[in-house]
Each structure stands twice: as structure tokens, then as C-alpha cells.
Amino acid sequence: MIKQQNGDAMAETSDVHDDLDINHKNLHDPNPPVVVVWKNVVWMASLHSGALYGLFLVPSASVSTLIWTAVCYLLTALGITAGAHRLWSHRSYKATFSLRVFLALCNSMAFQNHIYEWSRDHRVHHKHSETNADPHNAKRGFFFSHVGWVMVRKHPCVIEKGQTIDLSDLKADKVVMFQKRYYRLSVLILCFVVPTLVPWYFWGESLVVGYFVPGLLRYMSFLNATWLVNSAAHMWGNRPYDKNINPAENTLVSFSTVGEGFHNYHHTFPFDYAASEFGYKLNLTTMFIDFMCFLGLASDRKKVSKEMIIARMKRTGDYSYRSG
């Protein structure tokens, strides 16, 4: 018989399989206790405090620094939207090696877990949306789906169902595996050091403003924008494509995530490279992917036909608007 609480008790264990049995039992407990990861609570509170301080420093930042902050925000966003999301999670288009390297660098700038982990969790999110196996299950409320889920241990169902997801394409992508290997170093350099040092070195901005404005404020703004997709866009908005699911069309989220707030459309047609019916409307990411295709760096964009969209809207939509 195993006792879990301390090392001495563990030493009494006669059979290592007892340990496995306990894990197995926990795995099938539908409501395991919530285990708070206090390290992450402190980390998130510190980052948000730093970002808030950055907000107060904005008036003292030079125009060049503010432009740099916007550039960093855009690069950060593309690393998630065009990279981790539309390319690596959904394979909605193909990208050359050099574009994948660029997107992986942008992804490290976003510091939202490495591409492999992000895409794995996102595939689980789509397949098991709004269940215990969804890493940010919106049925557990706004706070949990927004930020709470990064401060507690995952529900065992997330891991159990996640293990059934095919990740062979990610494992075969050398760029993804290289970024996974050097993730911490790449985050340190691209999310914190580069945004801070560029304004200091090139136009004499103070290191404090560099760290707190293009550094922390930019990082936390896009992190919260991303989280809004999981929280707000899973709760509020129209459902013109499928009224039977929670994901909704949310304009504010589309704006802040450069094109990822058309969430009812996205959950209905997850393989569409534009993640929206409406082309470039509030969708800089689609513009970017099209431009990459124009340059010959991307190809094979998957798009849902107008006929298919209209048929689906008639069948399952909430009739909140007609297809444009």
C-alpha cells in the first residue's frame, strides 16, 4: 500500500505499480481537487504589476519607442496567430523554412509556451472544447479560461486526451523542435532583452522605459489579448455559423488579436487559413499570410467556399447576420 505525502512513506512502497494505480485512479476522477501553482500566481501578479507600471511610463516614452512598441506587438502577435495558431496548430497553409524560422523567433518573443506545447494544447482545445479535457474550459468561468488555467495544475483529462492527439508533424519539423530545445534562452533574448536594448542603443531611450513599455507592457497586452479569445470570445458575441457551440464572433477580440476574434467561424471551420469569412477585415494576420504567398514564402492556403459557408449558416447558424 502506498502513502503519498512524503519521501519516507514512499520508501515503504513494496511495488512500484501501486504508484501507477494511484495515478490511474486520479486520472478518472471527474472532479479532482484544484491544485494552485503558487509560483505561477506570484509570477503572473508580478508581470501584471510591471505592465501596469509600464502603462504609467507611456507618457515619458519617446515617439520612436512607442513605434517600436507597436512593431514588437505586431511581431509578437504574428508569432502566435500566423505561427503557432494557423500554421503549426491547424496546418492551414504551408511555409518555407525561412518563414518558419521567422515565425518561431516571433513566437519566442510572445512567450506563450513553445510552439510544440502551444499547438498540442490548442489541438486538445478544439477537439474537446468546453469539457474537462479543454485546457482553458470556458465552462469553468471567465477567470479560469482567461488566466486561472495557467495558475493551477491541469485537469487529468487534458493530459489523458492530449496523449491521443497526433503530433507527428510537429515532431518532424526541425524548426519546432529546435525552438523547444532552446526555448528559455530564446524567450530571454527575444521577449525581454531585444525589446529593451533596441530603443536604448539606437535612440537613447532609458533602460527602464525600454524594459517596462516595449518589454513588459507589450508582452502582457498581447498575452491578455490572446487569453480574451479563450474567455470573452467563448462567451459573448453572435454565433452565425453554429449556434450550438459557445465560441462567438467578438469584434474587440478580433481587433486586439489581429484577426482571431471570429471565433464562431474558427471553431466551425478550423482549417480555414483566414480564420474568418471576411478577408482582411480586422485581420492583419490574413494580410500577412497573403503577402508571404506573394513573396513565395507561403503556399497551399486552405479556404472554405462561400457555398459551404452559406449552407452551414442555414443549417446551424443563429441568423444574426447573412453571409457577405
Binding residues vs ligand ST9 (CB under 6 A)? 37, 40, 80-81, 85, 111-113, 117-118, 120-122, 124-125, 150, 153-154, 158-159, 162-163, 226, 229-230, 257, 260
Nearer to ligand ST9, 65 or 119 (CB): 119
Q: What is the smallest separation between the CB atom of 307 and ligand ST9, expressed in angstroms?
A: 25
* Cα–Cα distance measured from residue 150 to residue 39, given in angstroms and rounded to the nearest whole number: 11
Nearest approach in angstroms of CB 257 to ligand ST9 is 4
Closest residue to ligand ST9, judged by C-beta, is 162
Identity of residue 159: I
Question: What SS3 class is residue 305?
Answer: coil
| Minimal distance, residue 246 CB to ligand ST9, in Å | 12
Distance (Å) of CA 108 to CA 13, 224, 257:
42, 16, 17
Q: Which is nearer to ligand ST9, 78 or 292 (CB)?
A: 78
**Taking the complex as a whole, how short is the minimal distance between the CB of residue 179 and ligand ST9, in angstroms?**
14
Q: How far apart are CA 82 and CA 222, in angstroms?
A: 14
Q: Is the Cβ of residue 61 or residue 80 nearer to ligand ST9 in the bound state?
A: 80
Of residues 48, 45, 106, the one with CA closest to residue 285: 106
Indicate the residue among 65 and 211 with the shorter CB distance to ligand ST9: 211
CB 130, CB 267: distance < 8 Å:
no
- Of residues 122 and 218, the one with the C-beta less far from ligand ST9: 122
What is the DSSP track for 228-265?
HHHTGGGTSSB-SS-TTSS--B-HHHHHHTTS--BHHH
Q: Closest distance between ligand ST9 and the C-beta of residue 162, in Å?
A: 2
Q: Closest CB to ligand ST9 among 94 and 126?
A: 126
218-254: b (≥16 Cβ within 10 Å) or e = bbbbbbebbbbbbbbbbeebbbbbbeebbbbbbeebb
As measured in angstroms, the least distance from the Cβ of 56 to ligand ST9 is 23
